[in-house]
Amino acid sequence: MSIDLKSINATLEIPQENSTTPVKPEEAKTIYDFITEKGIERTLEIGFAYGRSASHIMAATGKPHIALDPFQDYYKNLGAKNIEKLGFKDQLELIRDFSHNVLPRFVSEKRKFDFIFIDGDHKFDGIFVDFYYADLLIDKGGFLLFHDTWMRSTELVLQFIRKNRKDYKEIPLANPNMVMMEKIAEDDPRDGMHFREFYNTRTLLRHHATMHMYENPNGLLRKAWLGVKKMIGK
């Protein structure tokens, strides 16, 4: 079946003021292409919002997909409505609950997935807990995708994995704001004493500059940034 991603994006209703909440259309296309190319079937995502990533995942697999998100009411159920409009309703199991409640249950039920998209709570501890459980829900050959890698919280979780989890390998993606990790070993090889320092400075400046501009929309830094963007035609 050939899927027209443009018409999926045109059908998705996403309020202008929240247009930066979902992955960008080009990131959604990367997710679609990756899943299609790998023939991935069992998918889970943490953070559903308006259903952009979910719709692309389901378009790629043609199989059931599970999405966790406790705040669909905040989004006026638009995500669920979008999925219905796109004809993916029967493929989607939307669990309106926090990942910290659902993921441990899935682990105890011995559920397994081939691909998990971590895009829910973006605080360090939230992402770290999602990674901890997601790791237990995939086998060797499974994939974990992280979004918003510009954020210091996400970068530090990724850096923990790079330094401490030699059973993961980073898969290069064209999109700078996403990182894909493949699990490359059946077992975590660390012993109980293992610890490698993972603090780094990458993203430190970018994160603090972005947060400053976000908190001071009329500040000098944002004005200068907008000026540079205009100058280089972005």
Ligand X SMILES: C[S@@+](CC[C@H](N)C(=O)[O-])C[C@H]1O[C@@H](n2cnc3c(N)ncnc32)[C@H](O)[C@@H]1O
The residues that touch ligand X, with contacts defined as CB under 6 A, are: 21-23, 45-53, 68-71, 98-100, 119-121, 126
Q: Which is nearer to ligand X, 75 or 167 (CB)?
A: 75
Q: Which is nearer to ligand X, 48 or 160 (CB)?
A: 48
In the complex, what is the shortest distance from the CB of residue 191 to ligand X, in angstroms, rounded to a whole number?
Answer: 31
Q: Yes or no: say if 150 and 130 are a contact pair by the CB < 8 Å rule.
A: no
Cα 86-32-56 angle, rounded to 5 deg: 20
Q: Which is nearer to ligand X, 120 or 142 (CB)?
A: 120
In the complex, what is the shortest distance from the CB of residue 137 to ligand X, in angstroms, rounded to a whole number?
Answer: 14
**What is the DSSP pairing of strand 178-183 with strand 168-171?**
antiparallel
In the complex, what is the shortest distance from the CB of residue 59 to ligand X, in angstroms, rounded to a whole number?
Answer: 13
In the complex, what is the shortest distance from the CB of residue 70 to ligand X, in angstroms, rounded to a whole number?
Answer: 6
Listed as own residue / partner, the contacts of 210-214 with beta carbons closer than 8 Å and 24 or more positions apart are 210/150
How crowded is the C-beta side of 16, counted as CA atoms within 13 Å?
0
Residue given tokens 């905040």 in the structure block:
74
Identify the helix (H) or strand (E) that includes residue 80.
helix 78-85
**Which tokens hold the place of 16?**
């202008």
Q: Which is nearer to ligand X, 167 or 179 (CB)?
A: 179
DSSP 22: S
Residue given tokens 């018409």 in the structure block:
7
In the complex, what is the shortest distance from the CB of residue 42 to ligand X, in angstroms, rounded to a whole number?
Answer: 18
Q: Which is nearer to ligand X, 46 or 86 (CB)?
A: 46
Q: Which is nearer to ligand X, 116 or 138 (CB)?
A: 116
In the complex, what is the shortest distance from the CB of residue 79 to ligand X, in angstroms, rounded to a whole number?
Answer: 8
Cβ atoms within 10 Å of 233's Cβ, excluding its own: 5
| Residue whose C-beta lies closest to ligand X | 47
d(CA 11, CA 20): 17
Q: Is 188 helix (H, G, I), strand (E, B) or coil?
A: coil
CA distances from 177 to 145, 174, 223 (A): 11, 9, 23
